[in-house]
């Protein structure tokens, strides 16, 4: 970077963040918000559980154990066993992995398509931008779950179909956020200076726009993840997601509902897993948004 | 401002006329957008369900069927015609309310959907009622106390409510009220013609599960909105006139606070309609959602197409109505978006 350019780009940092905030480390920033800290801890635990379950669970999540059906929680089975004598903790751990992977996949689809679409719409504000945003509006007006059911009707129930459907339905979220925040960055003086300096749109997008909208996108990722987790759980509950016997939170709820009179506890664990994870992601997303955009603080 | 500069009565009247005129133009523009959106949505739904592999006739007759039987059924269902023809036939049917016959039962679809709406309609309205009954008091109370500990507790409650999915809540309610207390049915539906109170009883738990979560989301928006209004100048003026805080809030604050809430209410209604699909599965209610899911399972694609379009149309029309109301309540809103 030449000296002249450095002089142009440095103000970027102070422009978007309040003075003093940019200088501290990301970790310190996170800890400054109790909501974000609590959310990060919960989400961190969920991620660790998911990663551990790849290599280790107390029992096989699919191992049927005749004679050990509906065991109450004990030292051997901390969360008890289900109608086939399968260990509930093991199934819940593997379910965390399936749920997180599917939700992350959906968010990744939305991110990879939505952010470039939003950027293009911000740079080309004429017909191209208009067409992109109308498309986003069309997709947005179509409820995600309905889109997912339609796609499942055509392709059959699978993890991939569910991920794809929720991902496509979430594209407008990123397209809209990216466009509106990018427009703000594009109207600044330093972008004007970069243009005058002869930088191409692609270079401006990479060097000025993306770094500036990244914080907003990160908060949006956390918030969207909570929505996609709910959608993934709902689809697998309806039998339209990952097919059994693979353990999913929604699928575990669905089968536990048949045994409410024998063992109501079986419903509690997957229900709790969904609620706590969604709560954590919401807290993290809200907290991040407050840190990154202090003008919104206390508004929601 | 000089007295002479203040708007005169006929000024106000002409301004109101201008507003109505603009409102009408807004409505025309939005209706045009609605028609285009519905057209594109119908093309998309038809394309997804008809281009992709899996011939309906083969699925209906099973793998044992002879090729000639499959061909005969395909011809009978009109599936051997060009796709554009099939699409036009379907759309023409929708517009004239002839929804066609089910691939599976060969019965007309319209009466089946009508019967399902007798369950889904009241369920969604009940959910809305529950949501508003929770959201309005909870939202206002947590806004008034937002600096105190009780306000923090109330908004924390709303956060927890948002995190619990409606189907989990539904199962928990079944455990408490049907399995333990045995006061309400756990599942199924008593038809309205059999017993009105029986039908209402079978909708109580579903409506609560549907409305509680939406109510928690709505409460957060109401809280934000009321907190903002509480700091507004016009409320201070109202207080200076001698109104007590609660009087000022009720007379001047709530109408202003309701404006941003109304937009969210539109989204909430869409959420309730889609949420009903899941809730009907939880309580095995014979509504539109159950019909949609069983049609997906049976690959009765024509019924799937009809229901998806019906739900999408309802959601879009609800959003249009809310958008319009929004602009009627708040004339300051630009009409150009």
d(CA A260, CA A255): 10
- 66-105 in chain B: CB under 8 A from chain A: none
Give A82's pLDDT tier (boundaries 50, 70, 90).
confident
Q: What is the mean pLDDT of residues A17-29?
A: 58
Nearest to B106 by CA among B33, B57, B155: B57
- B49:A153 CB<8 A: yes
Percent of chain A with pLDDT over 90: 21
Residues of A in Cβ contact (< 8 Å) with B160: 275, 279
pLDDT digits (tens, 9 = 90+) for A148-179: 888 888 888 888 888 998 999 899 889 988 98
**Nearest residue, CB atoms, A150 vs list B45, B172, B224:** B45
Q: What is the dihedral of CA B155, B156, B158, B163, to 10 degrees?
A: 150
Is A233 or B213 the better-scoring residue by pLDDT? A233
Q: What is the pLDDT of residues B246-303, one digit of tens each?
A: 777 777 777 777 777 777 777 788 888 889 999 999 999 999 999 999 888 887 888 8
In terms of Cα–Cα distance, which of B332, B334, B317 is closest to B26? Answer: B334
Q: Is pLDDT larger for residue A237 or for residue B3?
A: A237
Point out the residue among A142, A233, A267 whose CB comes nearest to the CB of B165: A233
Return the C-alpha torsion angle B135, B138, B141, B142, nearest 10.
-100
Q: Strand, helix or coil at B108?
A: strand
Report helix angle B196-230 to B166-173, nearest 10.
130
Measured between beta carbons, the chain B residues lying within 8 angstroms of A253 are 167-168, 171
Contact B100, B90 (CB under 8 A): yes
In three-state secondary structure terms, B101 is: strand
Which phi and psi angles does A185 have, rounded to 5°?
-65, -40
- Answer whether B176 touches A (CB < 8 Å): no
Judged against a pLDDT cut of 60, whether residue A6 lies above it is answered with no
- Average pLDDT for runs of 10 along chain B of length 337: 61 77 84 87 85 66 75 75 82 80 79 88 93 88 76 75 87 87 79 80 90 86 82 79 77 75 78 90 91 86 87 85 77 52
pLDDT one-digit tens code per residue, A109-128: 999 999 999 999 988 888 88
- Chain-chain contact of A150 with B37 (C-beta, under 8 angstroms): no
d(CA A134, CA A110): 17
The three-state secondary structure class of B134 is helix
What Cα–Cα distance (Å) separates residue B247 from each residue in A235, B235, B244, B252? 47, 10, 5, 8
Cα separations (Å) of A5 from A90, A189, A202, A207, A235? 55, 13, 16, 11, 51
Q: How far is B195 from chain A (nearest CA, A)?
A: 27
Q: Shortest CA distance to A31 belongs to which of A251, A252, A288?
A: A288
Taking the C-alpha atoms of residue B217 and residue A226, their distance in angstroms, rounded to an integer, is: 14
**Residue B284 zone, left/alpha/beta (φ > 0; ψ -120 to 50; rest):** left
Alpha carbon of B184: minimum distance to chain A alpha carbons (Å): 15
The candidate with the shortest Cα–Cα distance to A27, out of A296, A291, A257, is A291
Span A32-41, pLDDT tens digits = 778 888 889 9
Alpha-carbon distance of B30 to A132, in angstroms, equals 18
Distance CA B237, CA B256 (A): 15
Cβ-Cβ contacts under 8 Å between A and B: the total is 118
Predicted confidence at residue B337, as pLDDT, reads: 39
At residue A20 the predicted structure's pLDDT band, cuts being 50, 70 and 90, is very low
Domains of chain A: 86-296 (1.10.3720.10)
Could you read off the pLDDT of A36-70 as tens digits, one per residue? Answer: 888 899 999 999 988 988 888 888 787 777 777 77
Q: For residue A227, what is the nearest residue in chain B, using CA coordinates?
A: B163
Closest CA to B189 of B291, B284, B282, B292: B284
Q: Per-residue confidence at A103, pLDDT binned at 50, 70, 90?
A: very high
Domains defined for chain B, CATH in brackets:
10-95 (no CATH), 113-297 (1.10.3720.10)
pLDDT of residue A35: 82
A20 in helix, strand or coil? coil
* pLDDT at residue B336, as a whole number: 42
Q: Is A279 within 8 Å of B160 when comparing Cβ atoms?
A: yes
With CB atoms and an 8 Å threshold, state whether A150 touches B48: yes
Burial of residue B4 (CB within 10 Å: 0-12, 13-18, 19+) is exposed
- CB-nearest partner of A142 from B41, B186, B301: B41
Which pLDDT score is estimated for B54?
Answer: 57
């Amino acid at each position: 970077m030449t000296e002249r350019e450095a002089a142009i780009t440095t103000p970027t940092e102070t422009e978007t963040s309040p003075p003093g905030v940019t200088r501290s480390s990301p970790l310190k920033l996170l800890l400054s918000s109790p909501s974000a800290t609590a959310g990060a801890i919960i989400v961190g635990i969920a991620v660790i559980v998911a990663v551990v379950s790849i290599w280790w669970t107390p029992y096989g999540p699919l191992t049927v154990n005749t004679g050990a059906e509906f065991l109450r929680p004990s030292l051997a089975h901390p969360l008890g066993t289900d109608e086939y004598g399968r260990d509930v903790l093991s199934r819940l751990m593997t379910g965390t992995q399936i749920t997180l992977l599917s939700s992350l996949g959906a968010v990744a689809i939305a991110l990879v398509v939505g952010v470039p679409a939003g950027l293009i719409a911000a740079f080309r504000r004429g017909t191209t931008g208009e067409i992109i945003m109308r498309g986003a509006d069309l997709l947005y007006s179509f409820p995600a779950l309905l889109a997912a059911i339609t796609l499942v009707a055509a392709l059959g129930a699978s993890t991939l179909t569910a991920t794809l459907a929720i991902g496509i339905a979430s594209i407008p979220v990123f397209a809209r956020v990216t466009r509106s925040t990018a427009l703000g960055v594009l109207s600044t003086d330093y972008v004007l200076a970069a243009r005058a300096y002869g930088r191409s749109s692609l270079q401006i997008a990479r060097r000025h726009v993306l770094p500036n909208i990244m914080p907003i996108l990160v908060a949006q990722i956390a918030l969207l993840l909570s929505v996609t987790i709910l959608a993934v759980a709902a689809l697998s509950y309806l039998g339209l997601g990952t097919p059994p016997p693979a353990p999913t939170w929604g699928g575990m709820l669905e089968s536990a509902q048949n045994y409410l009179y024998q063992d109501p506890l079986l419903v509690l664990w997957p229900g709790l897993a969904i609620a706590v994870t969604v709560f954590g992601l919401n807290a993290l997303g809200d907290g991040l948004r407050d840190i990154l955009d202090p003008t919104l603080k206390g508004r929601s | 401002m000089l007295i002479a500069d203040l708007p005169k009565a006929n000024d106000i009247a002409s301004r109101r006329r201008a507003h109505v005129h603009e409102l009408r133009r807004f409505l025309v523009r939005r209706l045009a957008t609605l028609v285009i959106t519905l057209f594109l949505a119908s093309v998309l739904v038809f394309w997804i369900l008809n281009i992709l592999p899996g011939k309906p006739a083969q699925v209906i007759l099973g793998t044992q069927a002879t090729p000639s039987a499959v061909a005969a059924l395909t011809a009978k269902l009109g599936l051997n015609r060009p796709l554009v023809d099939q699409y036009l036939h379907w759309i023409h049917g929708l517009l004239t309310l002839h929804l066609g016959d089910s691939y599976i039962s060969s019965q007309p679809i319209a009466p089946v959907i009508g019967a399902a709406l007798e369950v889904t309609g009241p369920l969604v309205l009940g959910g809305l009622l529950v949501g508003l009954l929770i959201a309005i008091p909870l939202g206002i109370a947590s806004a008034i106390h937002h600096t105190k500990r009780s306000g923090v507790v109330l908004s924390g409650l709303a956060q927890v409510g948002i995190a619990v999915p409606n189907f989990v809540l539904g199962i928990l309610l079944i455990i408490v009220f049907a399995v333990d207390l045995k006061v309400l049915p756990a599942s199924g539906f008593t038809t309205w013609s059999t017993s009105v109170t029986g039908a209402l009883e079978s909708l109580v738990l579903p409506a609560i599960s549907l409305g509680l979560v939406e109510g928690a989301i709505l409460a957060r928006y109401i809280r934000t909105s009321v907190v903002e209004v509480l700091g507004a100048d016009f409320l201070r003026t109202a207080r200076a006139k001698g109104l007590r805080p609660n009087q000022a809030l009720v007379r001047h604050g709530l109408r202003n606070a309701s404006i941003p809430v109304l937009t969210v209410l539109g989204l909430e209604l869409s959420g309730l309609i889609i949420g009903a699909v899941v809730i009907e599965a939880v309580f095995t209610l014979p509504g539109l959602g159950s019909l949609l899911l069983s049609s997906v399972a049976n690959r009765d694609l024509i019924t799937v197409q009809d229901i998806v379009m019906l739900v999408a149309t309802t959601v879009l029309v609800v959003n249009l109505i809310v958008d319009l109301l929004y602009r009627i309540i708040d004339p300051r809103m630009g009409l150009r978006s």
